Structure formats: C-alpha cells, structure tokens
Structure 1
C-alpha cells in the first residue's frame, strides 16, 4: 500500500478533525518539507530551530495574497513523530483556508497523505513498533477514560516490552536448539532438556497471562455492551433511561411499545457502557414489525457482553420467563427484579443463595432454582441509586479496572498471534518431553517466534500493513 518510491514523497494532510473550529493543524512530512513550506511561509528562517514555532503570514504562490496568519512548528529529521523532517502549520479552522493551504503544498510537489501514512512512516523509521502504531489509533478513538489510559500505556510500550522479553527467551532457545543440531553428530549436548523446559514453561506462562487479559482489555477499549431483555411492559425502557440518565426510550403502559433495538452510551468509573433496549419477548405476536423487533432482540442478546433480564417482581416469574432465563448464559446474565416500589417491603440486593433463603420476597416468582448461579438485583426504575449499585457490581466482575501496572492486550490481531505462539510453545514442550531432538524443536518453535515478531512488526507483509493502517484517518 505504501511501498516503493512513495515512501520518499513529501506528504501533507489536515491532522485535526474536519469541519469548522478555532484552529486546524496541517502536517507536512518528508525530505522536501522545509523547501516546500518556506515558499509559502517566507517568515521561516533558512535554518529553523527544531521544536520551535514561528509566526507569520502564509501567502498564495501565484498572487502572493495572504491566505492566513499561521504558526509553523518545525521538527528536525529524526526528532519528529514520523522520524522525518516535519512542519505542522496551525491555521484558523476554516475548511476553505485548510484546502487553500493544501492546494499550495500540492502545487509545490507535495502529495496528499494516505490513511495512517504519518503513523506508517513512524513505524518504518523505527519511531514505533507495530503494537505502538496500533495504539495510536486506539488512543484517538478512545471513548472513555479507561480506554484512553489503556491505549496510552500500550503507546508507551507496556505490551511491546513484554513481547520483547518473550522474544529474547525464544531466541535463546532457538539459538541453543540450532547449535545442538550442529553438534549432534559429535554427541555433544549443548543444553540440557530441563533447562529448555524451564524456559519454555516461563514463555508459556507469559503468553497465557497475556492471552488471558484480552477479555478485560477488549472491554476497557470498547466498553461493556449490555442488553435489557424480558417480556413486554416489565420496565426495560424505564431502566434504559435510568442507566443512560437520559429520556432515550418512550415509556408507556402499552405492551410492545419498543419495536426496534434502542441504544445509548454512558460512562461509569471511566468505563464506557452501551445499553440496548430491545423489543419485549413474547410468542403470540401478529404484528410483523414487532416480530422483526423480537428477532433483533434475540440477535442483540447473543452478541452482548452482558444481559439484564428484567421481570415484574410484583407479578413474579411466569413459565415463559423461566424458559427464557434457561436459554440465557448464566455467566453473563443479571436478573433485575423490577418495580420493587410496588412491594410493601423493598428488599436489598441479595447474593443468589441469600435470595433463595429469603423466599418471602419470592412468593409469586415460581421456580427459585432458576436463579442459581445468577446475580439478582431488586430494583425500581424510580430509584436513581439503582444505576450506581448495579454498574458497580458489574465493574467488580473484572476486579480492579484501575490496572495501572498490568499489561493488557485489547487488539484481535494480537490475540490471534499470541494464541498461535502459545499453541506452538505447548507443542514445543511436548517435543522436548518426548525427546524428539533439537531439529524438531527448532521447526516447531520457530513458528512461535514468528508469531511474536509479526505482532511487533519485525516481520510483516502488505496484508498485515493494510490490516493495521486501513482503519486510520487521513492525517494520522
């Protein structure tokens, strides 16, 4: 995508979001950056100081009319984000002004940058590895405090350093295995199997830890996706509005009011939550639109991270609701016994076993055993404290999310590669334990090393580059 002579082009693009704003920044990078920009920014000195901003008028090449008053910040080759000579032009945030400045640069010979090309050049020039390059996009797209913190830690090299350590141990094993092949005809054992197995155990444990962090890392990055489901008229829409702290859904006493999946985003303790209110589940439906809504509800439930199953605690669980509950994954299902404001006595949140023992609150519920291995909350959509009480428990599901010193992966590409490396490492252990010889170990374990190097970007091809950088915006 970016190969060949194009890497030597001087490129330009607007790096700030498109639209009207107070300031826009145009980034120029490449070997002719100073030469090009100096022709429209005559106020720049012949030898500008790196990391210094210069103020002056930017003028049209042909008419010499003033286009805007700008700040031009110069970054010397090797000391910029891309590793190349870079100038960032800060102008007033008018799309007309931005396009006019870009037009001047293109006339001089600069090329409009491709998606992610500035970050790509930073990677190619050794300023970032591939994991860090991907974290740039994650940081830009972060929609919560925790997502931003996670991306920043990855950008600073938390994952990269862990992978470098694993790569060093892998290289040591492969080097000794290949040396053992060379000396095998002389009957010399370069390193004992116990030492190799100890190293392999260490690598396996490190990979297992990283792979095991993906679920939490992905949730921190993308947020929790929570579906509210249950029969019609049990209060799902009222609870959606409560959790979102906004009147997002229409609330009426008429069953089947919600026909489509309604969603909204909110934040709690720095974590993003996406709540989805779905059409009430019921079998006897003649309305085609409602049937489609119910089908969408089932699809959304299957794709969610968590399910909040809502029922009317005053009426109790019906046989139909128990059947729905039995079809939900207990590990991701929360039961919200709603409308407790209608009870004579409002119960607190119980653990499942405690709830079962306090059957006075379940006189109309029916099959109490259906609650086992599930989390039960007694709630009222009229009680604003419900929001923090429920979400607090959900966040605790993953322990302390303030994981300042924990290395987490959140990228599916990383998970694929590290899972592959883990599988090869386990097979390599079997090779050593079965005494099959260094040549078999070298063949098997080399695949594990390649998976780590592909993650870091030490081995890559056009397909990997396209996968990483195609998601970037122009100017990044």
Structure 2
C-alpha cells in the first residue's frame, strides 16, 4: 500500500457542504501542508502552534483583503477522518465567499479535490476498509431509515467483521496446506481434513446467507418500482393521489387524461417505493399521442418490480390484458370503486379498495411492503446492498464449492491451494485487504460527491 500512499503527498481542498446559499459553509483541506496553507491566510493566531481538535475564530485574508470572519477547526494526523492533517473552515454561506476561500487556498499550494478523494485517502491511510468507505457514500445517498441504518452498520464494520472472521480462519488452514507442500517429501499432514471440511461448510452457509440478503439489500438501497396499470378511468391517478395523500396527478372523467407516466416516491415502513402512474390501456385508440402513452405503459409494467393491475368494479367489460399474463408473479390485482357497487370473482390475494375515499389504501400499502420485503427488516443482520460485493461473494461461493469437492475427493494440498487462494482473493477484494486495482478505486470513489 506504501506505493499508493506516495501518490497522495499533496494537499487537497473542496467545499464539504451542499452547494448554494446557506447560513454557513465548510471548506475542507487535507494533506501535510493543510495547516500551513490556512495559517498563511488566517491572521489571528499561529495555527501551527495550536493543539489538535481545537476551534479558532478570526479573519481570513488574501493579502491585505479580508475574505471573511471564519471558524477554523484543526484535526492533526493521525486523529482525523483521512489520517492526514485536516483543516475545516466554517465561513458565511455565500457562494462568492466560498469560491474566494478555495481560490486563496489553491494560490497557497492546495489543489481542488476530486470526487470522493477525502474518503479515498481515508481508505489508503488505513482509517477504514473498502466496504466502510462505500458505506459513507450510501449514508449520503440514503433516502429512508432502513437504507441509513444498513449503511451505518456497514460503516461501523459489521460486514467487514463478518468477512474478516471468515478470511482469518481460512488463512489458518491455507498456511497449514502450504506447510504440507514444504514437507511434501516427508508425506506428513498438518491440516485436519475433517475440520477443514467443517469450516468450508460453515463458510458456505454464511456466504449463502450474505448472497441471499442482496435482494432485500437492493430493495433497501434502490427502492421498489411499482407500475399502476389498467383501463382508462379505472382510477389510477386517483389511487396515486391516495397513496401519496396529496393531489399529485390530474383526475377527470375524461378517458385518456393521463397521456404520459407520472412517477412519485412513497416511503412505507422505511422502504422507498417509486410509484408510476401510467396511461390508461385500451386495445384500440385513434389518438397517436395516446397510443404512445399506452406503449410506454406496457414498457413500464415490464420493467417494474411490482405491477398493480387496477380494475374498475363498475366496468362490465373485460379488464384482462393478454400481454400481462407473463408478469403474473409480480402482479397484484386491485379492484377499485368498491363503494360504488359491482362485483368480481377474485382470489384471496386480490384487494378491494375505493381510491377516492381511501378505503383499503392502507391495506394495499401493507401488501406492497410484504410483496417487496417478505418480512420485517432486521437491521441487526448483515445485509448486502452493493452489487460489487454481491459479484465477489458469488466468486467466493464458487471457490468454496471447488474446495469442498476437492476435500471430498481427497485431492492433494497442491491442488487445493489454488482454490483456497482464489477464495481468499475475492474476500480481500471486497474489503480492500489485498492490493486493489487503481481503476476500480477510481470507479468506486468517483461516485462520491466532491468534498467527501
């Protein structure tokens, strides 16, 4: 890792708070010259003589020009977020003042930080592993209690601890296998094959559990797309408004009012559902624009995780769509206008509502949640939310399977060793415990905001 650290020998600066006008803004610097750079701009006292984790009020100047009255926070290496000297300048929230401060720092020798570069330095300096670094981005992007709690658990090292335990135990056996190879002429066995098989079975169980959690993790992190489809005037827009508890979509008795899709977010028990109100679907329409809306409705239904097929109980015509049958597994039939009479043959999973008056809407929300999650979310369990982790765990599972086959067939240690190394490699790729490709790091940290 030392070769990597030599490339991070300069000092970076960026706005750490959201862009725009606010009461205050925070400018962050990190690097060995960060305190010296700010000290040349801060005239009230000598910052280089001040202890770490202290605050200092005074004027910030560029030459003789006063930029702003600021509060400077010092975090000296190694007791900082990045492991380097960090200075945070709290100034008034004028974008003009923020830019003046950044320009002044650059003039004194800093450079503008790249997206995620502060957190990347924290990883490279050993302040956190790669899964924790990625959790930082997930916390910033979280839109619900569930996504925030899941990311916080990873940031505190929950996932890392699970993987480290697996990896360390596997390393112990790998070392014994390697030792056998060194004494291959003596035909001695240092690794107990029965204990090793027991460990592989245990590791496989944990890996399968982590892999199985990815579906739930994907729901928590990215939300669930729900398409409302049905014939014109079935009440799709009214249902959207009822779910959101606000007048988001235009409602009228005129068929084909909704020409394009409307998408809104709904939080149900900490999970984000992206509700898509689609254009009414009918087999034939002479309106070109309406036909485009209908085609888009079908497309959205195909892409959605859940389909609400809304059926008007007062409509005596057929509400079935032949093309919808291929999506039966993800379709919930919802019968609307239950308060207006009418009847329908339905199974126990179908729901009856009156979207206009709100009857049955809460029940529908509960069904959507159970359809997406299956059960209450247990944040105490490790949940995989990252596609990179999921892909690597699939490789780990494959390697464990090959090791198990080798043990059951009593193959020699020299043939087991490559599969063990492969398994360790993919576990290390997840946490960054092995040398991580710079392009991979660039992709991961490039998704962060500047200043983090």
> Do these two structures clear the TM 0.5 threshold for a shared fold by scoring above it?
yes
Say whether residues 1:301 and 2:277 are aligned partners: no
Corresponding residue for residue 377 of structure 1: 351
Distance across 2 between alignment mates of 1:72 and 1:321: 66
Corresponding residue for residue 462 of structure 1: 438
**Are the aligned partners of 1:234 and 1:311 in contact in 2 as well (CA < 8 Å)?**
yes
Q: Which residue of the other structure, out of 392, 396, 409, is the alignment partner of 2:370?
A: 396
Say whether residues 1:255 and 2:244 are aligned partners: no
Corresponding residue for residue 333 of structure 2: 335
Compared CA separation, residues 316 and 134, structure 1 to 2 (3 A) = farther
Q: What's the CA shift for 1:67? A: 1.2
Runs of 5+ consecutive residues of structure 2 not aligned to the other structure: none
Corresponding residue for residue 403 of structure 2: 428
Compared CA separation, residues 258 and 24, structure 1 to 2 (3 A) = same
Say whether residues 1:56 and 2:32 are aligned partners: no
Cα deviations by residue, 1:106-147 (Å, 9 ceiling, x for unpaired): 000000001100000000000111001111111001111211
Corresponding residue for residue 9 of structure 2: 8
Say whether residues 1:277 and 2:251 are aligned partners: no
Q: What's the CA shift for 1:304? A: 1.7
Runs of 5+ consecutive residues of structure 1 not aligned to the other structure: 345-360
Corresponding residue for residue 473 of structure 1: 449
Q: What's the CA shift for 1:165? A: 1.1
Distance across 2 between alignment mates of 1:379 and 1:387: 6
Q: What's the CA shift for 1:3? A: 5.7
Q: What's the CA shift for 1:399? A: 4.8
Corresponding residue for residue 444 of structure 1: 419
Aligned to 1:419, the other structure's residue is in SS state helix
Corresponding residue for residue 93 of structure 1: 93
Compared CA separation, residues 161 and 4, structure 1 to 2 (3 A) = closer
How many aligned positions are there?
447
Compared CA separation, residues 6 and 441, structure 1 to 2 (3 A) = closer
Distance across 1 between alignment mates of 2:285 and 2:400: 54
Distance across 2 between alignment mates of 1:289 and 1:228: 19
Corresponding residue for residue 37 of structure 2: 36
**Are the aligned partners of 2:17 and 2:26 in contact in 1 as well (CA < 8 Å)?**
yes
**Are the aligned partners of 1:311 and 1:317 in contact in 2 as well (CA < 8 Å)?**
no
Distance across 1 between alignment mates of 2:258 and 2:55: 56
Q: What's the CA shift for 1:203? A: 0.5
**Are the aligned partners of 1:169 and 1:203 in contact in 2 as well (CA < 8 Å)?**
no
Distance across 2 between alignment mates of 1:180 and 1:227: 59
Cα root mean square deviation, aligned: 2.0
Cα deviations by residue, 1:10-39 (Å, 9 ceiling, x for unpaired): 100001010001110000110001111011
Corresponding residue for residue 241 of structure 1: 241
Distance across 1 between alignment mates of 2:15 and 2:126: 23
Aligned to 2:320, the other structure's residue is in SS state helix
Distance across 1 between alignment mates of 2:124 and 2:99: 28
Q: What's the CA shift for 1:75? A: 0.2
TM-score for the superposition, normalised by structure 1: 0.89
**Are the aligned partners of 1:231 and 1:321 in contact in 2 as well (CA < 8 Å)?**
no
Distance across 1 between alignment mates of 2:27 and 2:365: 42
Cα deviations by residue, 1:176-195 (Å, 9 ceiling, x for unpaired): 22223333332212223221
Distance across 2 between alignment mates of 1:118 and 1:135: 14
Aligned to 1:328, the other structure's residue is in SS state helix
Cα deviations by residue, 1:384-431 (Å, 9 ceiling, x for unpaired): 353332222332342554423111110111111111111111121111
Matches within 5 A, 1:54-453: 54-61=56-63, 64-315=64-315, 318=318, 321=320, 323-330=322-329, 332-343=330-341, 361-362=343-344, 365=345, 371=347, 375-384=349-358, 386-397=360-371, 398-453=373-428
Distance across 2 between alignment mates of 1:98 and 1:339: 56
Distance across 2 between alignment mates of 1:227 and 1:38: 57
**Are the aligned partners of 1:395 and 1:401 in contact in 2 as well (CA < 8 Å)?**
no
Compared CA separation, residues 176 and 340, structure 1 to 2 (3 A) = same
TM-score for the superposition, normalised by structure 2: 0.94
Distance across 1 between alignment mates of 2:142 and 2:157: 18
Q: What's the CA shift for 1:323? A: 2.5
